Amino acid sequence: MIVLVESVLELALQQESAVHAEAIVGLARGGTIELAIPAGSLGEPLNVLLRRRQARNEACVVLGRQESDLARSPQSAGLAVELATAADRLEAFDRAEPPKLARTLHHVAAVATLLPLSAAIIEAALLIEKQYRLSLPDAIVFASVEHYLTTFASGPRMFVTKDRKGCDNQQIKGRLRELDCKLVTTFLAARQFLENTVTRITH
């Protein structure tokens, strides 16, 4: 089965669905499924990471100011130390995230087919953006998926996305049905379906 995944955000940032996303990657590593990911979506985790880093930097600035004020008084010196420790922990966490993201992307890219972003995909995405009323990033993902399904993919196929708003679009649902592509909106549901399918085949 071909499994198209909209994003690797859960794996990259170790979100709540990471264990299920990792299980799907494991099926691809074992050759049970073919995993495909739009290359254009790989920048999403980096964008999220940069936004979080900015928020943490702002928090560290606030903590630093409070720590300086509290350190002036013996009565609040202990609290000042706690704030300084919290700021140090935030900065350490911030430094650890980029290499962790790089390892995750390398890990996924080693077992997945990356759907390339081309001029034709961008042109199709601009049309899809208007036709389906999607955001441009979502339109680019869907254009990549549609192009792959109509041009290269054959056999059973599944599209995994957590974009519930986009999935409520009846035109998208209809187009995926035309392409005989199962739509799944959680990594947990995708994992359960795939593992049940494998169990039926092997028994």
- Taking only the tens place, the pLDDT of each residue in 154-182 is 788 999 988 766 667 788 889 999 999 99
Ordered per-residue pLDDT tens for the chain, 203 residues: 899 998 776 666 667 788 898 899 999 999 999 999 998 787 777 788 888 889 988 998 998 998 888 888 888 889 989 989 998 998 888 888 888 888 888 888 899 999 999 999 999 999 999 988 888 888 999 999 999 999 886 788 999 988 766 667 788 889 999 999 999 988 899 999 999 887 665 54
Q: How far is CA 91 from CA 9, 54, 86, 98, 195, in A?
A: 22, 11, 9, 12, 40
Q: Which of 44, 4, 40 minimizes the C-alpha distance to 122?
A: 40
Count of other CB atoms within 10 angstroms of residue 154: 8
Which pLDDT score is estimated for 13?
62
Which pLDDT score is estimated for 126?
95
76 three-class SS: helix
Please identify which residue in the block is written with the tokens 């994992």: 191
Question: What's the pTM value of the predicted model, to 2 decimals?
Answer: 0.78
